[in-house]
């Protein structure tokens, strides 16, 4: 690795920080991102600093065990999640973690972004699962991603934020933009009465495109798994496979009770 390219990578990390801060994907000193530059070397953002004003000298270098190799600053304890991702997914060279407000709102409400609504999101991300809550910076945090890590490139962390990964920093960062943009669109659609999910055949078509674009990691199964307030599980007209949401289940029960009451009243009247 030449010195020039390492300086360029550090500058790239600073540039991503500036964009993340400007777009308000983080507040105060939140967020962290990293770049794997060799088998055992990772460049990472420093802890306790605003990511909007980083300079290349603030970037830390650690090995795959999180031991510091270079730099006066220390990385966030959340570096553990980055290192686990690099270990599990050798194709991944960059990890971005932030708290974009709309996407994090979904994560705080216990909702994933696994809805088959926008073609670009299906093709580019496959899906955005919701990983269970774990204490930020704890060893449980990387553990919480494990079930999804080999299928997806973008994740929501329950009650926490989002993580995106890619073969380079910009690829990982752009996925963060896509997540937040999608979350805003989905929220708007819900406020307007609910998003219309694409039917399974259409989703399959889009997964076909994913394959054609040579997207490396295995795509998520070509089914819609919405956890939307309207999904009724096996009876769901959109996916027919999702988990029934509590709200939909409640609506279902109410409908059932109303129907039975109607039928009983009718039979009483006809006597
Ligand atoms: Zn965080």
Helical H segments across the chain, by residue range: 3-22, 79-88, 101-108, 119-125, 140-145, 169-191, 200-212, 246-269
The predicted pLDDT at position 138 comes to 79
Active site residue: 6, 78, 84, 180, which one? 78
Residue by residue, pLDDT tens for the chain (271 residues) are 555 689 999 999 999 999 999 999 999 999 999 999 999 999 999 999 999 999 999 999 999 999 999 889 999 999 999 999 999 999 999 999 999 999 999 999 999 898 889 999 988 888 899 998 888 777 787 788 888 888 889 999 999 999 999 999 999 999 999 999 999 999 999 999 888 888 888 888 888 888 888 775 544 443 444 444 556 666 665 555 566 655 556 666 666 667 777 777 887 787 7
d(CA 91, CA 168): 10
The predicted pLDDT at position 225 comes to 45
Distance 13 CA to ligand 1 centre (A): 17
The predicted pLDDT at position 187 comes to 94
The predicted pLDDT at position 97 comes to 97
Element of type H or E holding 215: none
Distance 30 CA to ligand 1 centre (A): 6
Burial class (CB in 10 A: 0-12, 13-18, 19+), 43: buried
Distance 93 CA to ligand 1 centre (A): 19
d(CA 141, CA 160): 10
d(CA 113, CA 225): 9
The predicted pLDDT at position 173 comes to 98
Known active-site residue 140: no
Distance 48 CA to ligand 1 centre (A): 12
**Domain residue limits, the chain:** 3-212, 233-269
Domain formed by 3-212, architecture: 3-Layer(aba) Sandwich (3.40)
d(CA 177, CA 164): 10
């Amino acid at each position: 690795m030449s010195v020039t390219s390492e300086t360029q990578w550090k500058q790239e990390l600073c540039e991503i920080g500036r964009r993340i801060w400007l777009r308000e994907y983080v507040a105060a000193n939140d967020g962290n991102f990293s770049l794997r530059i060799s088998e055992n070397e990772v460049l990472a953002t420093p802890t306790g600093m605003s990511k909007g004003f980083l300079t290349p000298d603030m970037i830390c270098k650690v090995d795959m065990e999180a031991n510091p190799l270079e730099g006066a600053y220390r990385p966030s304890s959340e570096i553990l999640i980055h290192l686990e991702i690099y270990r599990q997914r050798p194709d991944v060279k960059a990890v971005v973690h932030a708290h974009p407000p709309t996407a994090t709102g979904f994560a705080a409400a216990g909702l994933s972004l696994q809805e088959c609504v926008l073609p670009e999101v299906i093709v580019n991300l496959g899906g955005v699962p919701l990983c269970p809550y774990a204490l930020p910076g704890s060893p449980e945090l990387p553990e919480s991603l494990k079930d999804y890590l080999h299928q997806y490139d973008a994740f929501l962390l329950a009650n926490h934020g989002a993580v995106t990964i890619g073969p380079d920093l910009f690829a990982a960062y752009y996925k963060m933009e896509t997540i937040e943009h999608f979350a805003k669109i989905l929220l708007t659609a819900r406020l307007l009465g609910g998003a219309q999910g694409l039917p399974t055949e259409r989703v399959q078509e889009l997964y076909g495109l994913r394959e054609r674009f040579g997207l490396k990691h295995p795509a998520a199964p070509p089914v819609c798994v919405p956890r939307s307030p309207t999904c009724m599980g096996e009876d769901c007209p959109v996916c027919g496979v999702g988990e029934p949401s509590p709200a939909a289940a409640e609506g279902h029960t109410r409908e059932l009770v109303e129907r039975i009451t109607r039928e009983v009243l009718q039979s009483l009247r006809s006597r």
